[in-house]
Structure 1
Amino acid sequence: MLIAENLSCGRHGKTVLDGVSLQLKPGEVLGVLGANGAGKSTLLATLAGELPPLAGSVTLNAVPLTMQSAQQQARCRAVLPQTPSLAFELGVRAVVATGAYPFPELSPAALDTLLDRALNLADAAAFTTRRYTGLSGGEQQRVQFARVLTQALAQRTSGEYRALLLDEPTASLDPRHQLLLLQTVARLAHEEQLAVLVILHDVNLAAWWCDRLLLLANGTVAALGTPQNVLTPPHLRMVYQINATVMPHPNAPERQLVCFG
């Protein structure tokens, strides 16, 4: 399991977040919310092992990230950055196949099956014969999502921990594909015991699709818990500096709908 304990993280020696403790559990989606500059991406990069902790610890399967090689980490967790970049004229299938690099033991047949599944889950199968750089921003995002799904869903020992870390994966997607992506993430978490952390800006998408929410404000954790416990008018006012009304969602009263202003 991916666990942070009393974590301080930042960039260039400057602390952005302090005192963060969390467990990324199999079978759940943990949404991270906060205003611009709250430290969401910095937290994800630290949990992914891309930035060293300034204090506290991050462990993956009870071993500190700092003691694990990139190869070891890549077999347990997949990361979709906020702005994935690729300038090479690769075909879409080749880009998605890079997600399988940590798993050289996969047979060609198993790899083909895995790529087909990931492309279909990301609704990107129609792009298979195209070049990545010729796609729109939203289409490229769906291909990148297929890539991290390939990495997360590669065959492992039964019960082995798998984490998926997604930084604003819906940012360049149209409403239909925002819903499809989060629906896919939630289904894979619940049915295949993936542990998912997803950074979102849309509070209502987070309220609908996430099992737990981590709310960041003022350089620390403002709230951590179920959407019902986290998405309260006082918490939202603290984070976003505007008033919010929280009510039952008209299509699912057990869920919440947040209106700002």
Structure 2
Amino acid sequence: MLSAHQLGCRRGSRQILGGIDLEMRPGEVLGVLGANGAGKTTLLSTLAGELPASEGRLELDGRALSGWTPAELARRRAVLPQSPSLGFDLSVHDVVAMGAYPFPEIAPDAHEALLRRALREADACALADRRYLGLSGGEQQRVQFARVLAQVLGARQAQQYRALLLDEPTSSLDPRHQLLLLRTVQALARAEGIAALVVLHDVNLAAQWCDRLLLLARGRSVAQGTPAEVLTPQALQQVYELPVSVLPHPLHAHAPLVVFGV
């Protein structure tokens, strides 16, 4: 399991994160919420091993994350950054195939089956023969999502822990594909035992699709727990500095409905 205890991170002399406790549990989706500058992306990058922790403990399967090599980490966790960039005009197939690079042992037939599944799960099959740089921003986002799915699904050793970390994956997607992406993340977490962390801005999407939420403000945890436990008027007003009403959701009994500015 990927876990953090009193995790802190600095960038230069600035303390960006401090005192963060969390566990990424197999089969669950953990949503991270907060205003701009709250430390969401820094938290994800630290959990991914891309930024060093300045304090506290950060462990994967009981071993310090700093002790894992990049190649080892690539086989255990997949990361979708906030703004993935690609300067080469590759085919969509080749971009998705990058996700399978950590697994050279996969046989050719199984490799192609993995890529087809990743494209299908990301609703990107129709894009497979296109050139990546010719796609719209939303289409590129779906292809990048397929790439990380190929990576996290490529690690199929029995009982092996796998983590999927997604930074604002819905930001350039239309409403249909926002729902499809989050539904896919939740379904794969359940079916495959994947531990998923999703940074989101839409609190209502987070309430609907995440099992637990972490609410951040100025690099500190304001609340952590189920959506009903975290999305309270007091906590939301503290984080977003807006009037807010929290209502019963008319369609989803487990998820509160948050309305800002009321």
Q: Letter of the aligned partner of 2:187 in structure 1?
A: R
* Corresponding letter in the other structure for 2:218: N
Aligned residue for 1:49, secondary structure, equals coil
Provide the residue aligned with 2:127 in structure 1: 127
Partner of 1:252, secondary structure, is coil
**1:19 lines up with 2:19 in the alignment:** yes
Contact 2:9 2:52 in 1 (8 A): yes
Give the fraction of aligned pairs with identical amino acids, expressed as a percent: 61
Deviation at 1:155, TM superposition (A): 4.2
Paired residue secondary structure (1:254): coil
Contact persistence 2:16–2:218 (CA under 8 A): no
**Aligned equivalents of 2:254 and 2:178: distance in 1?**
21
Q: Which amino acid aligns with 1:120?
A: R
SS in structure 1 opposite 2:31?
strand
Q: In the alignment, which residue of structure 1 is the partner of 2:247?
A: 247
SS of structure 2 residue aligned to 1:72: helix
How far apart, CA to CA, are the structure 1 residues paired with 2:115 and 2:77? Answer: 17
Q: TM-score, normalised by structure 1?
A: 0.98
Whether the 8 Å CA contact 2:155–2:162 is kept in 1: the answer is: no
Whether the 8 Å contact between 2:79 and 2:165 is mirrored in structure 1 is yes
Query: Which SS does the other structure have where 2:148 is aligned?
Result: helix
What is residue 42 of structure 2 aligned with on the other side?
Answer: 42
**2:181 corresponds to which residue?**
181
Q: Is the 8 A contact 1:10 1:42 kept in 2?
A: no
What residue identity is the alignment partner of 2:207? A
Asked if the contact 2:48/2:79 (under 8 Å) is kept, the reply is yes
State the shift of 1:58 in Å. 1.0
Map of 2:258 onto structure 1: 258
Find out whether 1:201 has 2:197 as its counterpart.
no
How many correspondences in the alignment? Answer: 261
Measured in 2, the distance between the counterparts of 1:7 and 1:164 equals 19
More moved, 228-237 vs 13-22: 13-22
Cα distance in 2, alignment partners of residues 2 and 76 from structure 1:
10
Equivalence map 1:1-261=2 (5 Å): 1-261=1-261
C-alpha distance after superposition, 1:144-177 (max 9, x if no partner): 0000000000142111000000000000000000
Give me the TM-score of the superposition, normalised by structure 2.
0.98
Farther-moved stretch of structure 1 (5-14 vs 89-98)? 5-14
Moved >6 Å (runs of 4+):
none
Shift of 1:218: 3.0
**Structure-1 separation of matches of 2:221 and 2:256:** 21
Q: By how many angstroms is 1:190 displaced?
A: 1.1
What amino acid is the match of 2:77?
A: R
Q: Does structure 1 conserve the Cα–Cα contact (< 8 Å) formed by 2:208 and 2:252?
A: no
Unaligned runs of 5+ residues in structure 2 are: none
Shift, 1:253, TM fit: 2.8
State the one-letter code of the partner of 1:232.
T
Which stretches in structure 1 are left out of the alignment for 5+ residues? Answer: none
Per-residue CA distance 1:172-229 (angstroms, 9 max, x = gap): 0000000000000000011111100000000000000000000001331000000000
Does the 8 A contact of 1:13 with 1:54 survive in 2?
A: no
